[in-house]
Chains A and B, each alone.
Chain A
Amino acid sequence: MKTVRLLLLGFGVIGRGFAKVLIEKSDYIKKKHGIELKVVGVGEYNGCLVDEKGVDLKAALDLREKGKWLDMLPQWKKITTKEMIDKVQADIAVEVVPSDIKTGEPGAGLIEAALKKGLHVASSDKCAMAHRFSELMNLAKKQDKWLLFESSAGGGMPLMNLARECIQADEVKSMEGILNGTTNYILTKMSKGGMDLETALREAQELGYAEADPTYDVEGIDAAAKTVILANDIMGMNKKFSDVKIMGIRGVTKEAVQLAKKNGYVIKLIAEVNSSGLSVGPKLVPENHPLNIESNLNAVMFKTDIGRDVVIIGRGAGGRETQSAIFSDVIRICRDL
Chain B
Amino acid sequence: MEDCKIEIKLEDKPGALSHVLDIIAKNSGNLFSINHIRERKKEGSVPVVIQFQATEPDFSKIVFDFEKHGIEITEKRIGGAEETQLTQEFILIGHVIDTDIKDTIYSVCDKDVMVKSLDISLKGLKEPSSVFAEIGAKNSKSLGIAMKKLEETAKRKNLLLITGIQT
A13 at interface, CB cutoff 8 A: no
B132 at the interface (CB under 8 A from A): yes
Are A284 and B89 CB-contacts (below 8 A) given A252-B160, A256-B121, A289-B165?
yes
A262 proximity list for chain B (CB < 8 A): 119, 132
**Chain A residues closer than 8 Å to B89, beta-carbon distance:** 263, 265, 284
Q: Does B167 contact A (CB under 8 A)?
A: yes
CA of A282 to CA of B90, assembled, Å: 11
A176 contacts the other chain (Cβ, under 8 Å)?
yes
CA–CA, A268 to B167, complex, Å? 14
When distances are taken between beta carbons in the complex, the residues of chain A under 8 Å from B129 are: 255
CB of A277, distance to nearest CB on chain B (Å): 12
B44: interface (CB < 8 Å): no
* Identity of the chain B residue whose Cβ is nearest the Cβ of A274 in the assembled complex: B166
Does any Cβ of B come within 8 Å of A214's Cβ? Answer: no
Provide the bound-state CA to CA distance between A291 and B129, in Å. 27
Cβ-based interface call for B23 (8 A): no
A282 CB to nearest B CB, Å: 5
> Are A283 and B93 in contact (CB-based, < 8 A)?
no
A256-B93 Cα distance, complex, nearest whole Å: 7
Bound Cα distance A252, B128 (Å):
10
Residue of A174, A258, A267 touching B166 (CB-CB under 8 A):
A174
In Å, the complex CA distance between A9 and B145 comes to 50
B162–A286 CB distance below 8 A: no
A253 cross-chain contacts in B, Cβ below 8 A: 93, 123, 128, 130
| Chain A, Cβ-Cβ closest to B158 | A251
- Binary flags per residue of A257-293, CB closer than 8 Å to B gives 1, else 0: 0111011010110101010000001111110010100
Q: Cβ of B119: which chain A residues have Cβ within 8 Å of it?
A: 259, 262-263
Instruction: Give chain B interface residues in 130-161, CB to chain A under 8 Å.
Output: 130-132, 160
Main secondary structure of the interface of B (DSSP, over half): strand
A231 to chain B, nearest CB (A): 15
- Contacts between chains A and B (CB distance < 8 A), count: 71
Q: Which of A253, A267, A286, A291 has the most CB of B within 10 A?
A: A253
In the assembled complex, the Cα of A263 lies from the Cα of B132 at a distance in Å of 8
Q: Is B14 interfacial (CB 8 A cutoff)? A: no
Distance to closest chain B CB from A227 (angstroms) = 15
CA distance A284 to B90 in the complex (A): 7
Interface contact B165-A256, CB-CB below 8 Å: no
Q: Mark A303-331, 1 if CB is under 8 A from B, else 0.
A: 00000000000000000000000000000
> Number of A residues contacting the other chain (C-beta, 8 Å)?
27
Asked whether B163 is an interface residue with its Cβ less than 8 Å from the other chain, the reply is yes
Q: Closest CB of chain A to B95's CB: distance in Å? A: 12
Interface-centre pick from A251, A252, A285 (highest chain B CB count, 10 A): A251
By beta carbon, the residue of chain A nearest B129 is A255
The chain B residue sitting closest to A247, CB to CB, is: B160
Q: Name A283's contact: one of B121, B123, B131, B165 (CB within 8 Å).
A: B165
Chain A residues with CB under 8 A of B130: 253, 255-256, 259
Known contacts A255-B129, A262-B119; is-contact A282 B166 (Cβ 8 Å): no
For residue B164, CB closer than 8 A to chain A, the reply is yes
Return A198 CB to nearest CB of chain B, in Å: 14
CB distance from B73 to the nearest CB of A (A): 16
Question: Smallest CB-CB separation from A267: which chain B residue?
Answer: B162
Task: Give the shortest distance, in Å, between A220 (CB) and chain B (any CB).
Answer: 13
Residues on the B chain within 8 Å of A283, using CB: 162-165
Inter-chain CA distance A253–B128, complex, in Å, is 8
**Chain B, 88-106, contact with A by CB distance < 8 Å: what is the 0/1 string?**
0111011000000000000
- Chain B residues contacting A258 (CB-CB under 8 Å) are 121
* B121 lies within 8 A of A291 (CB): no
Give the distance in Å from the alpha carbon of A272 to the alpha carbon of B129 in the complex: 27
B123: which of A174, A255, A270, A274 is its contact (CB, 8 Å)?
A: A255
- The listed residue (A247, A255, A284) touching B165 by CB distance below 8 A is A284
Using CB atoms and an 8 Å cutoff, list the residues of chain B in contact with chain A: 89-91, 93-94, 119, 121, 123, 128-132, 160, 162-167
20 A-B pairs with C-beta separation under 8 A? A247-B160, A252-B160, A252-B162, A253-B130, A255-B121, A255-B129, A259-B91, A259-B130, A259-B132, A260-B162, A265-B89, A268-B165, A272-B166, A281-B162, A282-B160, A283-B164, A284-B163, A284-B165, A285-B164, A286-B165
Question: Besides A253-B123, A263-B119, 11 other CB < 8 A contacts?
Answer: A251-B94, A255-B121, A255-B130, A260-B162, A267-B162, A282-B160, A284-B163, A284-B164, A286-B167, A289-B165, A291-B165
